[in-house]
């Protein structure tokens, strides 16, 4: 099987919304009148963004999920994506699984594969995703307001928990491991919640490098500070049964600086609290209030007793040594 | 230097046309009312799309050029692009050169870097480019008409010539090598010509895998055949002085199946010949008529005497053995 057969067998379907899909020099799309376009690219590298043990279907899911998560963080509706794939060799079982996982998530979000590239080389998956958002409705990192509540969606720390089990630094019960592993390998992009938060949230980001680091991006861009509580790490909707099985210290590490969560971190004015909760209920996604935006620059993390913690939580950096 | 410093130092500028550029979950773009969007992704892998001897500035140029070439082949006006970069390590001299070459070409085409991703891994460069085209004006592979003249822009075979010198299978004079090497490492995307051919050309593609293979894509999508002449390989605007220095057999191989040319291959009705020539003159890009579209399926290559050649010219396939 050659490059063009591969594309046609695994990555080509008749276009639905696109004017022209896979198979020409470019895809052609017709933006809805007046809409803005949100664009994001993510590149996944073997051993860094996923382990070689990841089942191909889960990898296909994850490659698109991390991109959809960026659209979710902007409150943009997914429209289309391109896939560029570097493969060491043609492995049909792998391609079958990978494309299956990819299509399943794409279909679930009505997001169409419109083009891309395939080449031979070290395994590398680069997806660029396009979404639509009405002018002024995009959720940005830069619009957090002093006094805003700070929320997270879903649960935090599970992906890191699974990674540490893979690394052999941690042992948990099998059911906890499987649940955490599914969260690491098949994150759920919070697209519906992102859409529902338009007009309610002031700022948003998706948590990919760890809560503290990603909150830092909001603070920096919004030129504000924040106080982060940690009592929710003891017991809240944001802590899964798998995380509950760990010591408090480990939970703090994984929830505050775990990485790979792909949950939304967002801020909203206190008088929007009811609306925010309703939006979350409608989407079936739990949310947890974890702090407040302040005018004092920097991030203050409070311990269970409400005292300032001196401990540092590092953000994930691909080039940090 | 970490990931975020790297992005901010080498790959961030204030947005010009984009509503929001590098630094949030997504970039935000405002499509012009009524315009269609052309989208293309290309991934460049070390040792496959470029040699490790490529100066970084030329590599930055080439990574964007091959994408702009796809827009050119659709007659789309470049607007913006995303850059996803996997790097083995942070090499500031390399980043300086690479970004310089990238910005220079981006500026020359008014194409704005709006976002992307940076990670650690084997060197891999994935660019996704966006362009605009008025509805109905896009040049597609599928619209070649029986009787159309077949044209190529610029010169063919130079990139392959340079590659074979690098491989040690060929020796040419130093000035020829340098000229051919510049064509291999710094191809000129024919954006202006692509725009000028709107309404004149019926079908177009950019030549990246070799003339014969890429013409095959037009024939397949348009459900037509073609007769390809070869007398132009002896002497025409499509053959550079470097190519002129080779034997006829080598020239045929490199011009018809060389790869990495990034010239436009397009078809136009004979009664558009004057307009096509004028468009090419206006852009300062030579064009050469090299054949005709026929109703007989398949591609017939004629020798210098106008007799059918039995010789086969392979197209480039990343997974062919």
- Among residues of chain B, what percentage have pLDDT more than 70? 97
| A321 pLDDT tier (thresholds 50, 70, 90) | very low
Give chain B positions within 8 Å (CB) of A39.
26-29, 80, 82, 114-115, 128, 130
Q: Does the pLDDT value for residue A74 go beyond 70?
A: yes
- Strand, coil or helix: what is B15? coil
Is the domain of B148 the same as that of B166? Answer: yes
- Encoding tokens for residue A253? 């590490």
- The answer to whether the Cβ–Cβ distance between A36 and B29 falls below 8 Å is yes
Is the domain of A247 the same as that of A151? Answer: yes
Is the domain of A204 the same as that of A279? Answer: yes
| B14 pLDDT tier (thresholds 50, 70, 90) | confident
Among the partner residues A37, A82, A318, nearest to B29 by beta-carbon distance? A37
User: What are the angstrom distances between the C-alpha of B180 and each of A3, B246, B261, B282?
Assistant: 27, 12, 11, 25
pTM for the whole thing?
0.90
A-B Cβ pairs (cutoff 8 Å, strict): 230
> Rounded distance, CA B305 to CA A170, Å?
76
pLDDT tens across A86-124, in order? 999 989 999 999 999 999 999 999 999 999 889 999 999
Is the domain of B257 the same as that of B238? Answer: yes
- Encoding tokens for residue B136? 């109905």
> Rounded distance, CA B112 to CA B20, Å?
11
ipTM confidence: 0.88
Is the domain of B76 the same as that of B164? Answer: no
* Beta carbons within 8 Å of B317's beta carbon, 6+ residues apart: A2, A3, A4, B209
Please say which residue of A74, A106, A133 terminates a domain: A133
pLDDT tens across A256-307, in order? 999 899 999 999 999 999 999 999 999 999 999 999 999 998 999 998 888 8
Whether chain B has a CB inside 8 Å of the CB on A91: the answer is no
- The answer to whether the Cβ–Cβ distance between A3 and B318 falls below 8 Å is yes
- The answer to whether the Cβ–Cβ distance between B115 and A41 falls below 8 Å is yes
Is the domain of B81 the same as that of B197? Answer: no
- Residue B315 included in any domain: no
pLDDT tens across A38-71, in order? 999 999 998 778 877 889 999 999 999 999 999 9
What b/e readout covers B302-314, taking b as 16+ CB neighbours within 10 angstroms?
A: eeeeeeeeeeebe
CATH of residue B68's domain is: 3.30.1330.10
Which of B4, B40, B126, B131 best tests the A interface by mutation, with the highest count of A CBs <10 A? Answer: B126
Whole-number average pLDDT of chain A: 91
- Residue B308 included in any domain: no
Mean pLDDT of B10-22: 79
- Among residues of chain A, what percentage have pLDDT more than 70? 97
Nearest Cα neighbor of B197 from B149, B156, B260 is B149
- Determine the pLDDT at residue B320: 53
Q: Is the CB of residue B319 less than 8 Å from the CB of residue A3?
A: yes
Whether chain B has a CB inside 8 Å of the CB on A3: the answer is yes
Angle at B107 between CA B48 and CA B43, to 5 degrees: 20
Please say which residue of B101, B133, B165 terminates a domain: B133
Strand ranges of the sheet holding B225-228, from the earlier edge strand across to the other edge: B203-207, B263-268, B149-153, B287-294, B225-228, B298-301
Taking each helix axis as running N to C, give the angle between helix B56-74 and helix B92-108, from 0 to 180 degrees, rounded to the nearest 10.
30
> Rounded distance, CA B255 to CA B161, Å?
9
Q: What share of chain A is helix, strand, coil (3-state, %, to 5)?
A: 35, 25, 35
Give chain A positions within 8 Å (CB) of B85.
43
Q: Does the pLDDT value for residue A155 go beyond 90?
A: yes
Is the domain of A283 the same as that of A174? Answer: yes
Whether chain B has a CB inside 8 Å of the CB on A49: the answer is yes
Whether chain B has a CB inside 8 Å of the CB on A220: the answer is no
Cα A159 to its chain centre, rounded Å, is: 11
Please say which residue of A76, A103, A133 terminates a domain: A133
Q: Is the CB of residue B145 less than 8 Å from the CB of residue B293?
A: yes
Which residue in chain B is spatially nearest to A130 when comparing CA positions? B26
Which residues of B, range 254-283, sit inside 8 Å of A by Cβ? none
User: What are the angstrom distances between the C-alpha of B277 and each of B76, B157, B273?
Assistant: 20, 22, 6
Instruction: Check residue A262 and give left, alpha or beta (phi > 0: left; psi -120 to 50: alpha).
Output: left
Q: Does the pLDDT value for residue B193 go beyond 50?
A: yes
pLDDT tens across B96-154, in order? 999 999 999 999 999 999 998 889 999 999 999 999 999 999 998 889 999 999 999 99
**H/E element holding A225?**
strand A225-228
| B42 pLDDT tier (thresholds 50, 70, 90) | very high
- The answer to whether the Cβ–Cβ distance between A42 and B84 falls below 8 Å is yes
Please give, rounded to a whole number of angstroms, the shortest distance from the CA of A119 to a CA of chain B: 6
- Determine the pLDDT at residue B70: 95
- Determine the pLDDT at residue B317: 57
Which residues of A, range 126-185, sit inside 8 Å of B by Cβ? 126, 128, 130-131, 133, 135, 138, 140-142
- Give A100-139 as a 3 state SS string: HHHHHHHHHCCCEEEEEEEEECCCEEEEEEEEEECCCCCC
Taking each helix axis as running N to C, give the angle between helix A56-74 and helix A174-185, from 0 to 180 degrees, rounded to the nearest 10.
60
Please give, rounded to a whole number of angstroms, the shortest distance from the CA of B4 to a CA of chain A: 8
What b/e readout covers A226-243, taking b as 16+ CB neighbours within 10 angstroms?
A: bbbbbebbeebebbbebb
Whether chain B has a CB inside 8 Å of the CB on A221: the answer is yes
Whether chain B has a CB inside 8 Å of the CB on A201: the answer is no
- Residue A98 included in any domain: yes
Please give, rounded to a whole number of angstroms, the shortest distance from the CA of A307 to a CA of chain B: 31
Q: B270-279 long-range CB contacts below 8 Å, 24 or more apart? A: B270/B147, B270/B148, B270/B149, B272/B200, B272/B201, B273/B149, B275/B200, B276/B149, B276/B151, B276/B197, B276/B200, B276/B201, B279/B193, B279/B196, B279/B197, B279/B200
Structural domain span for residue A208 = 141-301
Is the domain of B149 the same as that of B235? Answer: yes
- Among residues of chain B, what percentage have pLDDT more than 90? 76
Which residues of B, range 281-320, sit inside 8 Å of A by Cβ? 317-320
- Residue A321 included in any domain: no
Is the domain of A33 the same as that of A170? Answer: no
Q: A214-221 long-range CB contacts below 8 Å, 24 or more apart? A: A214/A265, A214/A315, A215/A150, A215/A265, A215/A299, A216/A299, A216/A315, A217/A141, A218/A141, A218/A144, A218/A265, A218/A267, A219/A144, A219/A293, A219/A297, A219/A298, A219/A299, A221/A140, A221/A141, A221/A142, A221/B23, A221/B24
Query: What is the number of domains present in chain B?
Result: 2
Torsion angle (degrees, nearest 10) of CA B136, B139, B142, B146: 100
- Determine the pLDDT at residue A49: 81
Give chain B positions within 8 Å (CB) of A89.
319
Q: Does the pLDDT value for residue B15 go beyond 80?
A: no
Q: Is the CB of residue A172 less than 8 Å from the CB of residue A242?
A: yes
- Residue A53 included in any domain: yes
CATH of residue B193's domain is: 3.90.650.10
- Residue B26 included in any domain: yes
Among the partner residues B39, B45, B120, nearest to A86 by beta-carbon distance? B45
Whether chain B has a CB inside 8 Å of the CB on A95: the answer is no
Which of B36, B41, B123 best tests the A interface by mutation, with the highest count of A CBs <10 A? Answer: B41
- Residue A28 included in any domain: yes
Nearest Cα neighbor of A57 from A13, A12, A105 is A105
- Determine the pLDDT at residue A26: 85
- Encoding tokens for residue B161? 């010539």
Q: What share of chain B is helix, strand, coil (3-state, %, to 5)?
A: 35, 25, 35
């Amino acid at each position: 099987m050659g490059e063009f057969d591969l594309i046609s067998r695994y990555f080509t379907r008749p276009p639905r919304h696109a004017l022209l899909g896979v198979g020409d020099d470019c895809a052609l799309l017709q933006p809805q009148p007046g809409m803005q376009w949100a664009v994001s690219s993510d590149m996944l590298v073997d051993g860094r963004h996923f382990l070689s043990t990841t089942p191909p279907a889960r990898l296909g899911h994850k490659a698109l999920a991390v991109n959809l998560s960026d659209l979710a963080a902007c409150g943009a509706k997914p429209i289309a994506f391109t896939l560029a794939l570097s493969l060491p060799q043609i492995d049909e079982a792998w391609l079958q699984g990978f494309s299956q996982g990819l299509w399943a998530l794409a279909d679930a979000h009505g997001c169409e594969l419109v083009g891309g590239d395939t080449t031979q080389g070290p395994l590398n998956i680069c997806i660029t995703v396009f979404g639509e958002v009405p002018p002024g409705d995009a959720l940005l990192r830069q619009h957090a307001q002093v006094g805003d509540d700070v929320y997270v969606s879903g649960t935090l720390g599970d992906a890191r928990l699974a990674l540490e089990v893979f690394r052999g630094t941690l042992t948990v019960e099998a059911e906890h491991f499987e649940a955490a592993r599914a969260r690491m390998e098949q994150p759920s992009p919070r697209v519906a919640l992102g859409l529902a938060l338009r007009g309610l949230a002031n700022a948003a980001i998706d948590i990919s490098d760890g809560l503290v680091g990603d909150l830092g991006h909001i603070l920096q861009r919004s030129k504000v500070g924040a106080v982060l509580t940690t009592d929710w790490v003891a017991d809240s909707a944001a802590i899964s049964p798998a995380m509950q099985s760990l010591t408090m210290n480990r939970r703090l590490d994984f929830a505050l600086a775990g990485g790979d969560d792909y949950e939304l971190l967002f801020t909203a004015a206190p008088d929007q609290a009811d609306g925010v909760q309703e939006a979350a209920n409608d989407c079936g996604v739990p949310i947890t209030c974890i702090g407040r935006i302040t005018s004092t620059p920097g991030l203050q993390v409070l311990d269970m007793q409400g005292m300032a913690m001196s401990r540092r939580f590092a953000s994930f950096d691909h080039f940090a040594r």
